[in-house]
Structure 1
Amino acid sequence: MTFITKILLQSGNRPVLDKVVSEIRSTAERKGADLRGPHSEPPKRIRVPQYKTLSGDEGQQFRNWDYTVYTRKIEIVGHNGVSRRVAEMNFPPGIRVEVELEQVQGMGKA
């Protein structure tokens, strides 16, 4: 049985995100793991309204808060030790991490 660890990384700070992705890549290469990615999605522009009062009166509004979110997706096939090491990393503030573990069964005997 093979496990695929899917890692989703998001941040508004692109240089820090790229540094984290490089650390994951070098860890996987050093340990000989099968790494797929990183795959980049187009940056997502987020616009958040900011109100001067709690009532949400649109006439009493500051400028919208605009920011960009960058996303990278990585998959580690097999090699549970590398997957565990990556999942336990201390990520810098501002990095959002999702780790999903998928079990894949071979086409052999049942």
Structure 2
Amino acid sequence: MTFVTRIRLQSGNRPALENVVDEIRSTAERKGAELRGPHSAPPERLDVPQYKSTSGNETRQFRSWDYTVYTRQMEIVGHNDLARQVAEFDFPDGVHVEVELEQIEQMA
């Protein structure tokens, strides 16, 4: 059985995100692991309304706060030790990480 570890990284800080991706890529190259990606999703622009009070009066608002979220996805095939090491990285603040493990059975 082979394990595929999917790593999804999101951040509004693109340079920090790219540094994390580069660190994962270089670690995988040093270990000789099969790394797929990084795959980039289109940047997502988000608008957040800002209200002048907490009373629920929606007519009194500041200008909306808008920001961009960047997403990268990577897959590590096999190399469970590397996947565990990457999942335990000390990621910078502002970089959201999701790790998903899938077990794939080989066809006989």
TM-score (norm 1): 0.96
The equivalent residue for 1:58 is 58
- Residue-pair matches, total: 108
Deviation string 1:35-66 (CA, Å, 9 cap, x unpaired) is: 00000000000000000011232221001010
Q: Which amino acid aligns with 2:89?
A: M
- Which amino acid in 1 is paired with 2:104? V
Give the superposition deviation at 1:12: 0.1
Alignment partner, residue 88 of structure 1: 88
Counterpart Cα distance in 1 of 2:69 and 2:62: 22
| Structure 1 equivalent of residue 79 of structure 2 | 79
Which amino acid in structure 2 is aligned with residue 70 of structure 1? Y
The one-letter code sitting in structure 2 at the alignment partner of 1:2 is T
The CA RMSD over aligned residues, in Å, is 0.6
What does residue 35 of structure 1 align with?
35
SS at match of 2:28: helix
Unpaired stretches in structure 2, ≥5 consecutive residues: none
Q: List per-residue Cα deviations over 1:74-98 (Å, max 9, x = no partner).
A: 0000011110110000000000000
Which runs of 5 or more structure 1 residues have no equivalent in the other structure? Answer: none
**Identity across aligned pairs (percent)?**
69
Partner residue, 1:22: 22
Q: Following TM superposition, where does structure 1 have runs of at least 4 consecutive aligned residues deviating by more than 3 angstroms?
A: none
Q: Give the structure 1 partner of residue 103 of structure 2.
A: 103
Q: Distance in 1 between matches of 2:14 and 2:97?
A: 14
Partner of 1:56, secondary structure, is: coil
Which residue pairs with 1:46 in the alignment?
Answer: 46
